[in-house]
């Protein structure tokens, strides 16, 4: 639970921390799109080098980002398993009845691992260096043109802000409940799958009760402070692009340009 980094913000004064949240959101979105174009070890190597540079600029240890990958290890493993078994091609490396393992399947599985890791690390950079309220403000600003289509942009940004804030709170609450249950003799790691599943029930009930209570407290606090319509709110922090953001966009453009140059040179 402590390794889940989604929604966690670590204060700092690094170059990445000082960027406008809109710059970081745009960069994350473009990076993910570029990853969908990547299909060779050359392009993945360039993307990984760019990401390592960003992590270095955050002035946070690599171990922090690496620990954030542990909770999704089984999801990555499951996706890789599907790629290996259901990718046709030649040559066939292993065959046992309906199970066929091919060389393209192994290569695609490797690409999937790298793609998952890079995308998750890039998203982690965004959440670790940007407060949830800033992310919500950036999203509202970027989706501003949709207001003309009567899309409730302000409400969507508010829900995102609350969701990002609640994720780490719920994770911390889960860890506290697990520690309390363990101190009373409960075990979450012993026995078979059925026994482990039954052990989760005493954990879920107080977790849901606590989550509902937090939601009610938040609703009451917002009502007491006169919150009625998100579209009519003024903002304490006004977003402004600065020189550091222009440099960031220049670096992002250089990354994308070199990426497609690599694809053109190797004809991939």
- What pLDDT digit, counting tens, does each position of 136-171 carry? 888 888 888 887 887 778 778 778 777 777 777 777
CA atoms of 157 and 208, how far apart (whole Å): 24
Residue 246 has pLDDT above 60, yes or no: yes
Helix/strand/coil (H, E, C) string of 191-210?
CCHHHHHHHHHHHHHHHHHH
Q: How far apart are CA 247 and CA 23, in angstroms?
A: 10
Cα separation of 246 and 22, whole Å? 12
The pLDDT > 70 percentage for the chain reads: 90
Q: Using alpha carbons only, give the angle 221, 226, 228 rounded to the nearest 5 degrees.
A: 100
The pair phi, psi for residue 17, each rounded to 5°, is -60, -35
Q: What count of other Cβ atoms lies within 10 Å of the Cβ of residue 79? A: 16
**CA 120 – CA 69 distance, rounded (Å):** 8
CA 93 to chain centre: 35
User: Considering the entire predicted model, what is its pTM?
Assistant: 0.75
Q: What is the mean pLDDT of residues 171-190?
A: 77
Distance CA 223, CA 12 (A): 33
Tokens standing for residue 45 = 């190597």
Predicted confidence (pLDDT) at residue 103 exceeds the cutoff of 90? no
pLDDT tens digit sequence for 202-231: 778 888 888 888 888 888 888 887 776 655
When mean pLDDT is compared over 1-10, 16-25, 228-237, the highest value belongs to 16-25
pLDDT attached to residue 229: 64
CA dihedral over 257, 262, 264, 265, signed as positive or negative:
positive
Is 92 within 8 Å of 101 (Cβ atoms)?
A: yes
Query: Strand locations in 15-111, DSSP E?
Result: 92-96, 99-102
Reported as a pLDDT band with limits 50, 70 and 90, residue 268 is low
């Amino acid at each position: 639970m402590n390794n889940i980094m989604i929604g966690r913000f670590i204060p700092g004064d690094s170059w990445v921390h000082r960027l406008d949240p809109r710059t970081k959101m745009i960069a994350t979105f473009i990076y993910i799109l570029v990853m969908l174009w990547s299909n060779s070890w050359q392009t993945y190597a360039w993307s990984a080098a760019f990401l390592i540079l960003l992590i270095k600029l955050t002035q946070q240890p690599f171990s922090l980002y690496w620990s954030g990958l542990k909770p999704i290890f089984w999801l990555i493993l499951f996706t890789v398993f599907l790629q290996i078994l259901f990718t046709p091609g030649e040559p066939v490396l292993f065959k046992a009845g309906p199970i066929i393992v091919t060389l393209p399947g192994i290569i695609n599985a490797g690409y999937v691992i790298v793609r998952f890791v890079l995308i998750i690390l890039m998203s982690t950079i965004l959440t670790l260096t940007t407060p949830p309220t800033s992310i919500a403000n950036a999203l509202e600003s970027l989706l501003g043109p949709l207001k003309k289509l009567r899309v409730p942009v302000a409400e969507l940004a508010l829900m995102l802000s609350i969701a990002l804030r609640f994720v780490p709170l719920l994770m911390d609450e889960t860890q506290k409940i697990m520690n309390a249950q363990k101190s009373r003799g409960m075990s979450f790691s012993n026995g078979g799958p059925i026994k482990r599943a039954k052990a989760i029930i005493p954990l879920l009930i107080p977790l849901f009760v606590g989550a509902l209570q937090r939601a009610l407290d938040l609703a009451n606090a917002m009502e007491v402070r006169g919150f009625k319509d998100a579209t009519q709110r003024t903002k304490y922090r006004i977003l402004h692009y600065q020189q550091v953001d222009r440099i960031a966009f220049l670096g992002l453009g250089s990354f994308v340009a070199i990426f497609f140059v690599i694809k053109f040179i190797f004809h991939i």
